[in-house]
Amino acid sequence: MKVMERLVLTPLRPLVSPFQDPLQFAYQPKVGVDDAVIYLLQGAYSSLDRLNTTVWVMFFDFSSAFNTIQPRLLRAKLEKMQMDAPLVSWIEDHLTGRPQFVRLRSCASDPLMSNTGAPQGTVLAPFLFTTYTADFQYHSETCHLQKYSDDTVIVGCVENGQEDEYRELGESFVRWSRENHLQLNVTKTKEMVVDFSKSNLFLSTF
């Protein structure tokens, strides 16, 4: 099966490449986690050079991200990319109607059909997830969203306490996650504020 997936992945990459998030650093040629960290730090340090400026960073984590891909939504996204219908249908079929059961010695449970998610350990799963999440992108002079696989970070340059853009981006991302059936792991979602000034800082929440 993995041989077949690699054969499918070869024509998929160039078709999807123009739509991929340029700030997705995972599963991309010649970039990796080091590039993601450097990009985040460079943006933060350059912002802190400005007067009366703090850097706000929100780290988001999804629960079982690959398992929550909705084939119906993925199909719609691929069709918007004008991908060939037979290829889209093959991908949807690959993600649906998968029988699962538990075996213990000679005993086996009744099979359960799985129609969501991308099978773990498959060749296509990482690529399909980054494609599934590619339609949420954001980058401005003072705020950006970057990704590494299923980890997402929002970095905001807040001048004189004006955090509206940063907060609105966070709220938009949370809404988009719900609409795409991606479950945020609240216990692993953290916020960090970098402030080199000596003034008191009052934090607000989403």
Task: State the Cα–Cα distance between residues 61 and 190, nearest whole angstrom.
Answer: 9
pTM above 0.85, yes or no: yes
Helix (H) or strand (E) holding 108: strand 107-108
Q: pLDDT over 70 for what percent of the chain? A: 96
What are the tens digits of pLDDT across the range 118-136? 987 889 999 999 999 999 9
- Residue 64, sorted as left (phi over 0), alpha (psi -120 to 50) or beta, turns out to be left
CATH topology of domain 2-70+116-194: Alpha-Beta Plaits (3.30.70)
Q: Where are the domains of the chain?
A: 2-70+116-194
Categorize the per-residue pLDDT at 201 as very low, low, confident or very high, splitting at 50, 70 and 90.
Answer: low
Please tell me the number of Cα atoms within 13 Å of 52 on its side-chain side: 5
